[in-house]
Amino acid sequence: MNRAEQPSRRSVLAVAVVAAVTGATAPAFAAQGPADTSDRTPGARPIDYHAWTTYSEWSSGTVQGTRPVAGHRPGLVFDVPAGRNDYTDPHTGTTSTWEYAIWTGPVHRLAVPATEVVASWNAHTPDGTWLQAELQGTYSDGSGTPWYVMGRWAAGDRDIKRTSVDGQTDGKSTIWTDTFVIDDASSGLRLASYRLRLTLYRKPGTQLTPTIWRVGAMGSDIPDRFTVPASVAGPARELAAPRYSQEIHKGQYPQFDNGGEAWCSPTSSQMIIEYWGGRLTPEQLSWVDPSYADPQVDHAARFTYDYQYQGCGNWPFNAAYAATYQDLQGVVTRLASLSDLETLIAAGVPVMTSQSFLETELTGAGYGTSGHLMTVTGFTEHGDVIAGDPASPSDEAVRRVYLRREFENIWLRTKRYNASGKVVSGTGGICYLYFPADPSPLQREALAAVGVR
């Protein structure tokens, strides 16, 4: 999945938001909410993940027709319609009318002014509902961004086709599918703060509602680097996660990007979802060709597919898919080191990492890639990385052991040379974290140690 060479897989960005997109966005936004002053303590980490999950946090936003709900898993729901919108789905051409309600979060001032921001969310969207997530921020020069659409999402695909939105830029920043990026980081310009907006949609005249349990964003300012300092190995541990190959799905469902290497992200997601006990029913899998092995991987591909990106590698859509399983959360963030990863493994939390490399840079992989997801499920007594690599010829071959020094470099660097000798980007420690809605004390402590609460 080519994340590191984005223009080759994504539409070239236009100078302005295309008219069809502009016409479908939410109505005039609510007044800016109060500043959120929590979690601002400066630190050495060039990463700031912040989320809204509690009743008091949902109550801190400005509402237009939404309301927070308390309980074991607090959230945000539709209360009364704030209005109606017509939405023309760009992938079907169908225009339909929806009632909407809005939540606008308080301003979050980034502990580390950022060159990149990735939003993610966890929600239940029954048929007849969907949501739109947006981000608006203030630059370090005091000017503001427009409201950027970070995703239009539904768990299913009957009402709308879940989609990112291309063509969003203001000349200072651009949305690359799921990521806010400062156009010229060398200028010193950064995003100093942001707020998030959720628009909940439902069919008119119904009492249906999405329920959003978590919304957050990861901002980061990772320095340009071709190599990273070596870390000291921690304790050995291996987690018992399922192993699935993406390669046995080659040629399956061309409408969802044809299986094989394009399915590294949903295949990795499914391994970790099932590690936490997530399972699909025969009814849910009944649409999959019964001759296909591991039909749950096909299901994950279909329900993470981004119809604009035309692939299954949208990071927030994978995290949101994981959270459709009962009592499971998913976030997109960055980790600063392999030591962070070891902290999570020691607490029983596996990690999905994104990396790019030449075949010669990762001993034993047997391939090179401009962007690939795999799971990390443990470390050997020598500190080497135990991976569940879906780019394997069979399920039995998925378990791999990769050299620690090689792995941490290909995962954490932000610059690399491709096979042609051209300087291209690296992923800078991007990962998905899936974990229980009610983590154990040890898991909660480990997540907090890497900036996730």
Q: What is the DSSP string of 178-228?
A: TEEEES-GGGT--EEEEEEEEEEEE-TT-----EEEEEEEEEE-PPP-S--
Predicted local distance difference test score (pLDDT) of residue 38 = 38
Structure confidence by residue, pLDDT tens digits, 48-94: 999 999 999 999 999 999 999 999 999 999 999 999 999 999 999 99
Which domains are delineated in the chain? 16-220 (2.60.120.260), 237-449 (3.90.70.10)
Question: What is the structure's pLDDT at 44?
Answer: 61
Residue pair 391/374 in contact by the 8 Å Cβ criterion? yes
Reported as type and span, the H/E element at residue 453 is: none
CA distance 328 to 276: 8
Q: Whole-angstrom Cα distance, residue 238 to residue 346?
A: 9
The percent of residues above 90 in pLDDT, for the chain, comes to 90
Instruction: Say which residues have a Cβ less than 8 Å from residue 356's Cβ, sequence separation at least 6.
Output: 3, 4, 369, 370, 371, 372, 410, 416, 424, 426, 427
Is 266 in contact with 237 (CB distance < 8 Å)? no
CA end-to-end span of the chain, whole Å? 29
Tell me which amino acid residue 337 is: S
107 φ, ψ to 5°?
-70, 130
**Average confidence score pLDDT of the chain:** 92
* Tokens 């966005």 sit on residue: 25
Among residues 406, 376, 347, 120, which one has the least CA distance to residue 268?
376
Q: Which helix (H) or strand (E) holds 341?
A: helix 338-346
For 375, the token pair is: 């799971």
Scanning 196-337, the segments in alpha helix (DSSP H) are: 264-275, 295-304, 315-322
Number of neighbours of residue 314 by Cβ within 10 angstroms: 28
pLDDT in tens, 98-136: 999 999 999 999 999 999 999 999 999 999 999 999 999
| Arithmetic mean of pLDDT, 395-408 | 99
Q: Which of 358, 335, 357 is nearest to 430 (CA)?
A: 335
Identify the residue with better confidence: 278 or 18: 278
**Three-state secondary structure of 102-156:** EEECCEEEEEEEECEEEEEEEEECCCCEEEEEEEEEEECCCCECCCEEEEEECCC
> What confidence category does residue 39 fall into, taking pLDDT thresholds of 50, 70 and 90?
very low
Mean pLDDT of 403-423: 97
Distance of CA 401 to the CA centre of its chain: 26
* Global pTM value: 0.91
pLDDT at 172: 99
Amino acid at 264: C
Instruction: Quick: pLDDT tens for 220-265.
Output: 999 999 999 999 999 999 999 999 999 999 999 999 999 999 999 9
109: left (phi over 0), alpha (psi -120 to 50) or beta: beta
216 and 133 Cβ atoms separated by less than 8 Å? no
How much is the pLDDT for 90? Answer: 98
**229 exposed, middle or buried (CB, 10 Å; 0-12, 13-18, 19+)?**
exposed
What separation in angstroms does the CA of 246 have from each of 118, 274, 399?
Answer: 25, 16, 13
CA pair distance 35, 393, nearest whole angstrom: 51
Residue 176: which pLDDT band, with cuts at 50, 70 and 90?
very high
Q: What is the mean predicted confidence (pLDDT) over 439-443?
A: 98
Mean pLDDT of 318-326: 99
pLDDT at 13 over 60: no
Dihedral of CA 300/306/311/313: which sign?
Answer: negative
Distances (CA, A) of 39 to 120, 217, 244: 18, 13, 38
Q: What is the pLDDT of residues 388-397, one digit of tens each?
A: 999 999 999 9
For the CA atoms of the chain, what is the radius of gyration? Answer: 21
